[in-house]
Amino acid sequence: MSSLPLIADALLAGASLASCLACAVLARRLRRLSQGDHGLGHALEALDQGVARLEAALAAASDAAAAADRLNRTIAAADAAHARLAARTEAASGDGDPLADVVPGSARRRTPHGASLQDALDMLTRLEASARATAASGADRAA
């Protein structure tokens, strides 16, 4: 009966050796996994950098959308001002202006600031074209 404890001790020593070997293999795999050059550490670092770039792009797109919205409101206001100014210029040029026969070229009447209505209309048209070009370039950048 003395062989039974000896067999149990041998099995216990074999199991201890096998678990020691398994621990060594797992330690080597874990060390390789956590290295920065390759493995999980590198993948997590690349993923973190990708998220940072994506957040920056999202913030830029949000800013561009807000700027485009402001620009669209400015263009709408410029269009409305253009329409009002065109109506005033047309009225001042003789189409419905009772003084057109008396004062020829009334569209070139000078304002108190020295500019004519036609000059203001020309300036508003240039401003509108510039705003549309800016909106187009902002939309190109956002895309």
At 101 the pLDDT is 46
86-133 tens-digit pLDDT? 888 777 765 544 444 444 454 455 555 556 667 777 888 888 888 888
At 18 the pLDDT is 94
φ, ψ of residue 39 to 5 degrees: the values are: 95, -160
| 111 Rama sector, left if φ>0, alpha if ψ -120 to 50, beta otherwise | beta
Alpha-carbon distance values, 77 to 5, 14, 15, 73, 128 (Å): 98, 87, 84, 6, 10
Q: What percent of the chain has pLDDT over 70?
A: 75
Residue 59 tokens read as: 């913030």
pLDDT band (50, 70, 90) for residue 43: confident
More confident site: 92 or 13: 13
